Amino acid sequence: MRVLITAGPTYEPIDPVRFIGNHSTGKMGYALAEAFAESGAQVTLISGPTTLPDPANSQIRTTRVETGAQMYGAAAAAAPEADVWVFAAAVADYRPREVAPNKIKKAGDTLTLELVRNVDIAATLGQTKRPEQFSVGFALETNDEEAHARGKLQRKNFDLIVLNSLRDPGAGFRHDTNKVTLLDAAGQMTIFELKPKAAVAHDIVRTVLARLSLRDA
């Protein structure tokens, strides 16, 4: 089985020293790469900027990128040959329209940046997904969590979505733990308790493998 995983944040440059980004550490995506590799899968891990080392497992091939456009290019190249797609990266929704060639100097009390939409990697690739491919998305929400997650599930052609809420202590960015709810296209919902991200990754992998097994039955 071949698995494509995106992980970590993207950094969208403003000038040579500043960028738009987020607090993603990549830990969840890297844990998923390890868990899938342990199941026997060949994993392509496309990672945004993180402090994590490349996984040592020989079944994981890591590609490092920085921007959303770079991540999209790498994911689009790998997606057609992958059996499972897992979009765990926190891709910046917007990027500056223009990147200053030199450091922007402080002048005046305000600074206005014009932002443009980044490509929605999961939604764009979801339009090309073949029936035998399985797509997993993530929804990190702060309110109306289930409604937003189900909307993304349908809009981005996911087979399964991993929902976690920043209102749950110990979940989301900057933690070694996570608390997730899995929602599938058939309406089934599975709630897991707070646990280390490595254990969460194995829960997700077991769920994906079970869904694929049912398809093949």
Looking up tokens 């844990």 gives 31
How far, rounded to the nearest angstrom, does the alpha carbon of residue 33 sit from its chain's CA centroid?
12
- Residues 81, 213: Cα–Cα separation, whole Å: 19
∠ at Cα 76 (5, 203), nearest 5°? Answer: 20
| Sign of the CA dihedral with 135 first, then 173, 203, and 50 last | positive
Find residue 117's DSSP bridge partners. Answer: 94
Q: Is 22 a catalytic residue?
A: yes
| Sign of the CA dihedral with 163 first, then 167, 171, and 172 last | positive
Distances (CA, A) of 60 to 9, 35, 107: 19, 10, 47
Find residue 164's DSSP bridge partners. Answer: 140
Token pair belonging to 118:
């980044």
Active site residues: 22
